[in-house]
Amino acid sequence: MAAPTRVELAPKTNSTSAAPPVYRTDLDGLRGIAITLVACFHVWFGKVSGGVDVFLTLSGFFFVGSLLRHAIHSQAPHTTFRDAANPWPRLKRLIKRLLPALLTVLIAVAVLTVLILPQVRWSNIGNELVASATYWQNWYLAWNSQDYLAASSANSPLQHIWSMSMQGQFFLITLLTALGITVVIKLVSRVISGVADPRVIRVIVGGSVLLVALASFWWAHRGLQINQPYNYFDTWSRLWEPLAGGLLAIWLPRWRIPNWLRNVATAVALALIVTCGWWIVGVEQYPGPWALVPVGATLLIIWAGATDLQRRRPDQPDGTEPMPLLNRALASRWPVWLGTIAYSLYLWHWPLLIFYLAWRDKQHASILEGVGILAVSIGLAWTTKRFVEDPLRGGDRSKLTRGTRTGRRRLITYASVMTSILLVGTIAVGVGIKMWDRHVSTITVDTANLDPRDYPGARALLNNAPVPKLDPVPEPLAVIKDFPETSTDGFTSNFQDGSIHVGVYGDPTAKRTIALAGGSHAEMWISALNLIGQRNHFKVTTYIKMGCPLSTNPVPRQQGEPYPQCYEWGQRVIAEIIKAKPDAVLTNSTRPRDYENGDWTPPDYVPIFDQFIAGGVPVLGMRDTPWPIRSRIDTPICLNDGGTAESCGTKRSVSMSPTDPALALTATRPDFHPLDLTNGICTADFCPAIVGNIIVYKDPHHLSATYIRSLADELERQMRIQLPWIGQPTR
């Protein structure tokens, strides 16, 4: 959300001089209601409240109305083209309003990150600090597809800055566009009379805003069906919400409606705003058509409280009918006070919640904890507004030193000192991020030649190998970079890449070949297959695409969102593998269930196996590994935060059924050969985070390449049972 601004109602005018704007304290109060909803829903309910949509609509109403008045005023004969086109005065006001509080919070987040969060999270949060400071956070989250769901200790403390980034982009795009239109109107008015008439300007500006708003609304509706996590943060999908407020500022209806009807409208609108968070799943539906509920309700409240449009009454000092009762209630002391600190409160409440949950190692705040978090947030918000926002926005010139001469310009003021502190703090954070990134970039993983006596890994479970007391490898900060060879060698197609990149491993000169195909959970086995191929003189060819297990589902999904390119890529890979006629293909045969414990063989996997078998290619069906993410565990983060093999481990039954679900396929398909390495990862009932002095997982659900290599002996043993030619001399 943007900082509170002067709440103005675009006046009705037919002249180039703009009438003094009417101050709307009830909209300050509405802002206070909105920030209360946002904070409470984040802290206790884990839902999207609709409060951010209220902020967006109000921002558009204020900003577009202000730009319209500028466009009308700029047509006066005494104004120059420079006056009409100069963006700096408004940009300077925006900078003074937005940056001081934002930089204050970003500096605090940087300090708290170092004090509270594990080092494996520092690089990502450093990137988000930069993205937030440069108003790019919404795109950073969109590209990383982070869901804006219930808070937990694993959430980013800067995730909420997406809405401010989006608004900053809206302000800049709208400002430059409006100034361009203003200059064009001023030029054309010299040739065509009547173009500079305020009514004509309203039509030109309003028509432009309407077209863009409709296009944005269509784009948002389209995005719901394609990639909703991306759509949620997309500026172009969100643009229609502030533009809807802008349209009301341009064309506020001039109907004479009695106060009782305006009260009804405000009551209905407030009820919709307060309750919509419970009956609309905002993270799945916004900014699509359902966002019309909070947006439309906000527009209704703005219209209902427009007292200068009401019937004239001689008994009122200003001659107008008083503001409706409910709008006056919004304009009362406490809602308005909350509205004045709404910007800072929005900035503070989310990081405080995330840092508290991380500090206490909790996933949710209790009622009392939530009250405490909100109380501290409100205190910090008031302090930030009083001592940072107001002085820097208003140019507070109060002296910090005595003895300055009367009449001499005061060089040392409270505002100048605060500005210096923020600038130095921001530079320090930026330098710290660069230094940390340089440190992380030098960390390498070199575990290819570990001594199995010191680091037995899976052999500790499979062969009861002794485990000496040594620190595990790779260290938590390095294991996140422990990628399979195909990733580092560039043979993995990313989510946007539809090409097939074939890698060759094992013994490249061998006559026999095993193809490895599918998504990242197939890819991770290349670290073992490469070793086995070298030992047994067979070639390994890879066909890997991120998040893309081979399936007949025509509309596969990735993180719940449609991923149509995966199906197209998979069909081409299947045809290419069958044409190449390898001696076998290894791909995943199971995956953990989405909504219940255990794993299964999805029905859309089986036809793929049948296609390979019908094409004369035997199938090695690899049972998928346990997913700690099902237990809300990210192993490197957990270990880096002081966790142990046990505290960072997960129950086997959460992700795995008692037996391999794919075993049933062998009864009717002799050329289907199941592989199951679960016993090399878990005990009978538990899957530790560290086994045999090796960290098992590199992230929430992928095995580290180091641990995969410790499974190579067992994988080779099972492959020899299924494919007797492995290990036999080649002719």
Q: 332: alpha, beta or left, given left = phi > 0 and alpha = psi -120 to 50?
A: beta
Strand 22-23 and strand 513-518: the pairing is: unpaired
- Residue 315's CB is within 10 A of a number of other CB atoms, namely 7
* pLDDT interval class at 153 (50, 70, 90): low
- Among residues 286, 272, 230, the alpha carbon closest in space to that of 33 is found at 272
Region 313-317 average pLDDT: 46
User: Model-level pTM?
Assistant: 0.83
In CATH terms, 460-722 corresponds, of 3.30.530.20, 3.30.450.40, 3.40.50.1110, 3.40.50.2300, to 3.40.50.1110
Question: CA 678, CA 653: separation in Å to the nearest integer?
Answer: 11
pLDDT above 60: residue 380? yes
What pLDDT, in 10s, does the model give residues 155-176?
A: 889 999 999 999 999 999 999 9
Question: CA 392, CA 394: separation in Å to the nearest integer?
Answer: 6
User: What single-letter amino acid sits at 166?
Assistant: M
Task: Write a three-state SS string for 13-53.
Answer: CCCCCCCCCEECHHHHHHHHHHHHHHHHHHHHHCCCCCHHH
Question: CA 92, CA 89: separation in Å to the nearest integer?
Answer: 5
Question: CA 640, CA 627: separation in Å to the nearest integer?
Answer: 19
pLDDT of residue 653: 94
- Among residues 703, 708, 727, the alpha carbon closest in space to that of 717 is found at 727
* Residues 709 and 528 sit within 8 Å (Cβ to Cβ): yes
Q: Is 92 exposed, middle or buried (0-12, 13-18, 19+ CB in 10 A)?
A: exposed
The domain ranges of the chain are 8-384, 460-722
Contact residues for 299 (Cβ-Cβ < 8 A; gap 6+): 57, 244, 245, 248
Coil vs helix vs strand at 691: strand
- Residue 682's CB is within 10 A of a number of other CB atoms, namely 23
Question: CA 527, CA 119: separation in Å to the nearest integer?
Answer: 27
Contact residues for 573 (Cβ-Cβ < 8 A; gap 6+): 500, 517, 543, 545, 550
What pLDDT, in 10s, does the model give residues 250-284?
A: 988 777 788 888 899 999 999 999 999 999 998 88
DSSP per position, 249-269: HHS-------HHHHHHHHHHH
pLDDT of residue 576: 97
Contact residues for 109 (Cβ-Cβ < 8 A; gap 6+): 125, 129, 157, 158, 351
pLDDT of residue 193: 73
pLDDT of residue 636: 93
- Among residues 358, 390, 354, the alpha carbon closest in space to that of 373 is found at 354
- Among residues 230, 318, 240, 283, the alpha carbon closest in space to that of 558 is found at 230
Instruction: Record the tokens describing residue 275, joined without a space.
Output: 């309750």
Q: Where are the beta strands (DSSP E) in 329-397?
A: none
Q: Which of 432-436, 615-619, 694-698, 724-728 has the lowest mean pLDDT?
A: 724-728
* pLDDT interval class at 554 (50, 70, 90): confident
What pLDDT, in 10s, does the model give residues 91-131?
A: 999 999 999 999 999 999 999 999 999 898 899 999 999 99
Task: Write a three-state SS string for 432-501.
Answer: HHHHHHHHHHCCCCCCCCCCCCCCCCCHHHHCCCCCCCCCCECCHHHHCCCCCHHHHHCCEECCCCCCCC
pLDDT above 60: residue 397? no
pLDDT above 90: residue 28? yes
- Cα distance between the two ends of the chain: 71
Instruction: Please indicate whether residue 196 or residue 70 has the higher confidence score (pLDDT).
Output: 70
pLDDT above 60: residue 298? yes
Contact residues for 693 (Cβ-Cβ < 8 A; gap 6+): 454, 455, 456, 457, 467, 468, 470, 471, 472, 473
C-alpha torsion 352→355→359→361, nearest 10: 110
Run of H or E including 279: helix 259-279
Contact residues for 270 (Cβ-Cβ < 8 A; gap 6+): 33, 297, 301, 326
Q: Find residue 504's DSSP bridge partners.
A: 541
User: What single-letter amino acid sits at 285?
Assistant: Q
By residue count, the chain amounts to: 731
Q: Is 324 exposed, middle or buried (0-12, 13-18, 19+ CB in 10 A)?
A: buried
pLDDT of residue 396: 44
Instruction: Record the tokens describing residue 616, joined without a space.
Output: 């004369």
Q: Using alpha carbons, list the distances in angstroms from residue 640 to 116, 471, 634.
A: 11, 13, 10
What pLDDT, in 10s, does the model give residues 337-347?
A: 999 999 999 99
pLDDT above 50: residue 360? yes
pLDDT above 60: residue 308? no
Q: What are phi and psi of 301, to 5 degrees?
A: -70, -40
Coil vs helix vs strand at 728: coil
* Residues 516 and 537 sit within 8 Å (Cβ to Cβ): no
Peptide bond into 724 cis (omega under 30): no
* pLDDT interval class at 18 (50, 70, 90): very low
- Residue 202's CB is within 10 A of a number of other CB atoms, namely 18
Q: Which residue has the tokens 């070639």?
A: 539
What pLDDT, in 10s, does the model give residues 410-460?
A: 557 888 888 889 999 999 999 999 899 888 888 889 898 899 999 999 999
pLDDT of residue 559: 61
- Among residues 382, 306, 307, 298, the alpha carbon closest in space to that of 337 is found at 382
What pLDDT, in 10s, does the model give residues 482-526?
A: 999 999 999 999 888 899 999 999 999 999 999 999 999 999 999
Coil vs helix vs strand at 360: helix
pLDDT above 60: residue 581? yes
Region 558-571 average pLDDT: 80
Question: CA 319, CA 404: separation in Å to the nearest integer?
Answer: 50
Question: CA 629, CA 369: separation in Å to the nearest integer?
Answer: 26
Q: Using alpha carbons, list the distances in angstroms from residue 569 to 519, 548, 554.
A: 11, 9, 11
Peptide bond into 472 cis (omega under 30): no
Contact residues for 13 (Cβ-Cβ < 8 A; gap 6+): 19, 72, 198
pLDDT of residue 505: 98
Run of H or E including 316: none
Coil vs helix vs strand at 722: helix
Instruction: Record the tokens describing residue 179, joined without a space.
Output: 């100034």
C-alpha torsion 53→56→57→59, nearest 10: 160
Q: Find residue 516's DSSP bridge partners.
A: 542, 586
Helices (H), 145-161: none
Run of H or E including 623: none
* Residues 464 and 697 sit within 8 Å (Cβ to Cβ): no
Question: CA 289, CA 292: separation in Å to the nearest integer?
Answer: 6
